[in-house]
Every structure is written in C-alpha cells, then in structure tokens.
Amino acid sequence: MPQLDESLLTHLPPFSKLERRQLRTILDQASSRRYEPGTAIFEEDAPAERFYLLLDGYVRVVRVTPTGEQVTALHIPAGQLMGFAKAIGRQTYPATAITATESIALSWPMRLWETFAAEYEGFSTETYKTVGTRLGEINNRVVEISTLQVEQRVASALLRLIHQTGRKVPDGIEIDFPITRQDLSEMTATTLHTVSRLLSAWEKKGMVESRRKRIKVLDPRALAAISEARIE
C-alpha cells in the first residue's frame, strides 16, 4: 500500500494539534480501505476490534430492533471517527455502519485507543465532543418522535440532513449522499407511505425535489415553518 500522506489528518479535529512526526506515527499504524456503497464496515454486536476514521464518503449508522426492523440512527460524514466502542465502555459495536456512498476509511486496532488518548493532544477532547454531539442528536430525535407530529418530524429530519451534509446547488440544497424514502421513514419512525405522501405534497408546493435516491430542499424556510425548527 502506498504511504499515506500526513496532510490527510492535519485538518481533522482529533489530529489538528499534532506535529508532523506524530501524524506519521499514527498513519504508519493505520490500515486504509475503500468500500463500495452498501458495505458494512462493522456490524452491531460484533467484537469491537478496530476503530475508524472516515476519510471520504458517507456512512449510515443502523440499529436493529427486537422485532428485526432496521432503523437508521444517524449519518456520519467524512472527517469523523466512528466505531470507537472503547470510548463508551463497550467491547462490541453498538450499531452497524453501512456506507451510503463509495467510501474510504482508515482503521486502527482498538488496543491503540488508550495510547492515542493518552499521548496525542486533542484526541480525547475532540472524540468526546463527537460522542456528545451524536448522543445529543439521538436524544433530540427521541424527543421529536415523542412530541412532534409526523409532518414536523420529516421536515426536521430534512433540515438536519441539509445542515450536516447539504451541498448548495443553483436552486436549493441537496443532501449530499443517496437517501431513499425508506431511509427517511426509518429516521422518523413513520411509514414509507406517509413519507412518500408528504414529499409528493411538498414537491407540488415547490419546497423539495425528490428523485431516485436524491432529495433536494428548495425552500428551507418553508420546511422550518412546518418543523418549528430554527434555520442555522
């Protein structure tokens, strides 16, 4: 495998405070792999043997309910760590990570986690910020499911996705990875039929545009009015 360049890590928060020689040591211990869309990088309840840094692409974090239903818990964009079970006191992965697009990730043996946390400035701080952000997002979704109407939940989910991973295009903001109506229904604890009905109604009003595995928000303010969310 060609030697990875230190510039891959210099702009990423967990490693941004490190010297070039430290980055070289970290990269020399890493494995790099390219994943096709729809590939499980790691699976729920499997032994947590490695932790990962997503260099390129997007990943869906999926949980399976006791009844066997698949639920999308959140999405992870490029530049973030994932699979860090050690940081939350687990020996197994709490969820499955599935690539939403072609993706590239670095990984390290989990035994190196404590070494990274102890020796590399900023690694622990940034990692626990990420843990807190993801837990906060999941908690917010639990509250949404408990307190909001379906229409509000779907609008809130779309706003959250364009805020996290949106790509500006001439007529709006496109969610920058393939997402289906089924994905959106799993994220909002509703049915595929309901999501399809809402998107069709919003398309007629010029608020969104939905094509095969692609959703574009044309009028974020109109969605915010529905969700009662604040535009960032």
Q: Is 128 in the same domain as 19?
A: yes
Q: Is 118 in the same domain as 52?
A: yes
Q: Is 86 in the same domain as 161?
A: no
Domain assignment of residue 31, given as a range: 7-144
Q: How many domains does the chain have?
A: 2
pLDDT band at 131 (very low <50, low <70, confident <90, very high): confident
Kindly state the average pLDDT of the residues 57-81.
Answer: 85
Q: Is 111 in the same domain as 65?
A: yes
Domain assignment present for 2: no
**End residue of a domain, out of 126, 144, 162:** 144
CATH number (domain holding residue 128): 2.60.120.10
Q: Is 128 in the same domain as 176?
A: no
> What predicted TM-score, i.e. pTM, was given to this entire model?
0.78
Domain assignment present for 1: no
Q: Is 140 in the same domain as 35?
A: yes
Q: What is the mean pLDDT of the chain?
A: 89
> Tokens in use for 223?
């969605």
Within 13 A of 109's CA, how many CA atoms are on the CB side?
A: 5
- Cβ atoms of 216 and 203 within 8 Å: the answer is no
Q: What is the C-alpha to C-alpha distance for residues 53 and 151, in angstroms, rounded to an integer? A: 34
Q: Which segment, 19-28, 130-139, 182-191, is predicted with the most confidence on average? A: 19-28
**End residue of a domain, out of 116, 144, 172:** 144
Q: Is 42 in the same domain as 154?
A: no
For the stretch 82-126, pLDDT in tens is 999 998 899 999 999 999 999 999 999 999 999 999 999 889 888
Q: Is 18 in the same domain as 79?
A: yes
63's torsion region: left (phi>0), alpha (psi -120 to 50) or beta? beta
All residues at 6 or more sequence positions from 67 whose CB lies less than 8 Å from its CB, including other chains: none
Residue 70 has pLDDT above 90, yes or no: no
Helix (H), strand (E) at residue 82: strand 81-82
Place of tokens 């807190």: 132
Residue 232 has pLDDT above 60, yes or no: no
**End residue of a domain, out of 124, 144, 164:** 144
Q: Is 44 in the same domain as 106?
A: yes
- Cβ atoms of 60 and 98 within 8 Å: the answer is yes
Q: What is the C-alpha to C-alpha distance for residues 26 and 6, in angstroms, rounded to an integer? A: 9
Which residues are paired to 108 by β-bridges? 51
